Amino acid sequence: MIQHLENPQKYRNRWCMRIISRTYVLTLATSTILSSGAHCLAQDRGLDWKKLNLNSHQSQQIQTLEQDWNGKYSQIQPQIQDHQRKLARLLVDPKSDSLEIMSTNQTLTRLKEQLRNEATTNYLRKRAILNQDQQHQLESMMQQMISSRQQGVVGGPPQVEEQGGFMSIIQKVRWAIQGQAPP
């Protein structure tokens, strides 16, 4: 308590940095969840294209689009991971520059948005290959996949009870950066 009275500006700066850090952690966790959703959409996790009774031409086109997606994903995802690691380092360092944190977060958000757009475009191109009956079946499969995710079967951070509360902020950062549950 005496330290706070001796140097109130330093105390205020630390307090502001904690608030900024927690805000960015939550932003990072949320944007990571959305990014992984785009990746699942583009990779069609949960979708079995074979159930749509594709003809050989359709199968070939779908395979070409999947290869295209894999190429784009492999270019963008490493950049996202690098910026996530950088942002995590900046957030835990009390001496880090606020502008650098903001800049890194904006770059990370831009890259994730780019990946989501690529995923959506890829999915729409695949859907356009299908005939009307196949599109209705695909729609049904998508609704089932979304319903499963909303029920917690796939995606989202695991809810870990910790002393009567939910996942700590540090655990959320680890989950967001590594894409895995905390120990």
Residue 156 to residue 168: CA distance in whole angstroms: 15
Residue 173 to residue 163: CA distance in whole angstroms: 18
Mean pLDDT on 115-136 = 93
Do 115 and 35 meet the contact criterion of CB atoms below 8 Å apart? yes
Q: Which has the closest alpha carbon to 102: 13, 172, 21, 175?
A: 21
Say which residues have a Cβ less than 8 Å from residue 84's Cβ, sequence separation at least 6. 28, 32, 108, 176, 177
* pLDDT tens digits for range 10-59: 666 666 666 665 555 555 555 544 444 444 554 455 577 888 999 999 99
Instruction: Check: pTM over 0.75? Answer yes or no.
Output: no
Provide the pLDDT for residue 21: 57
Say which residues have a Cβ less than 8 Å from residue 86's Cβ, sequence separation at least 6. 104
* pLDDT tens digits for range 166-180: 445 555 555 555 554
Provide the pLDDT for residue 159: 46
